[in-house]
Structure 1
Amino acid sequence: MIVTRFAPSPNGPLHLGHAFAALVAHDLARERGGQFHLRIEDIDGERSRAEFVEEFLLDLRWLGLEWDGAVAFQSARLARYTEAGERLKAMGLLYPCRCTRAEITAAATEAGPDGPIYPGTCRHHDVNPEGAAWRLDVTRAMDLAGPLEWVDEIAGPQVATPQIFGDVVLLRKDLPASYHLAATLDDAADGITLVTRGMDLFPASHVHRLLQALLGLPVPAWHHHGLLIEPDGRKLAKRRGSPSLGDRRRAGEDGWALAEALRAHRFPGDISLSGNWTP
């Protein structure tokens, strides 16, 4: 049975891009007789706000979406992240790092999906682990895991190349876990069989496939859909004040009609709000 999920972070209101992502996950599950789950990624204690969670539930129901089972919260799973981190440490795959962003930028010679690739400064140094971030030695991890493949429903079969990120942080200094580790563990815990998300996160799946192999987790399929983008070509973002679903809902807009307008453009490419999309 297919199981999908929508997993927003409660650090700001949902916008049209979130609505599109939720609809893709929801509709794929319903079309195939499966389940659609809702997970709240709320481990950023300083930025996560409970009031946004309540708004999320209202927004999704306003769009006509219903989820299966109880809402899951990352904040209830911290022990799982710690345990996985300890396992990877015991395998000799993590090392502490105290480098700042400025130091990484200054020393990096290559760029990856998330910016400058970490040059491995702390990999072979004696670093005080107290308060440090912990990075995955990707080369060593790939040597252990061997060749890995994964499948995207739109892009087709892929060979895992997590090296494009360099040695990613899995245990952050300021949070219990990085997105890479937490999302991978959560999808396994929730029995997700089809990971749906925007094309901007396509590269992350290379890292997640490696983590699944290292931790003995089941391997889902992926479905990376197009993005809703601003007239200037940038994707919608909370930090730029993209119109919220909550504001549209409170203004009396028809959420079901909005959902149908979004469904009409469920195709692989990006959707420009200035061109081929109308509310």
Structure 2
Amino acid sequence: MEENHYIRGLKLKRDSIASFNNYPFHLPSIKTLDELSFHPNVTYFVGENGMGKSTLLEAIAIAAGFNPEGGSFHFNFTTFNSHSPLEKHIKLIKGIERPQDGFFLRAETFYNVATNIEELDREPAPGQKIIDSFGGVSLHEQSYGESFWATFVNRFRGNGIYLLDEPEAALSPLRQLSMLAHMDELVHQNSQFIIATHSPIIMSYPNAKIIELTEEGAKESSLEETNHYSIMKQFFDNRDRLLHHLLKQ
């Protein structure tokens, strides 16, 4: 049921915004925003660079109780305070259920999360080390892709809300397909995903809601209607012709 979403949607508190001429409120996706509703399983934010995908996802994450640089609800560190003020001007519409787990996984600041885990585990404390819940191997001793993947498959436990910002930056196409399979397992364990992505592979989860951010604002799209899918299809359907015009050969 809709009421059982962890996050059913959001409303922009427009009356609290002093000016729509300043960042990030001047972005078309924010300037025209009133309310968004999310899918109970998987919702995607897609669009070109600069349209506000990561900014919007970050605001949702902070409003939901996550650290701006990522991690679980319990992470509380700051490397560089660069997040926008948008979270102060949105209201999350929550369901009846509360998540038992959660994680904000963003490619941009994942190194900082890995470093914070190392620092916390150096402090003497009884019981399990934090890294054990990430697979037991230092995230800094793995490649970027492997550490990102280790976090996804080991730390995401189900019954949770998971926010991912451009996970394709760390994952090969094969791993992106594997990600869909593991997402499906977690969805069947009562989990909800909100993902900002450029990848047509990642945004192909069946029956998901795709919210495309454009110069005209935010709109719901099908996979095939997105600009990302269209460009990739053109490339693979007629690569030589596209490259001929692009490279002016």
Compute the TM-score of the two structures, normalised by the length of structure 2. 0.31
TM-score (norm 1): 0.29
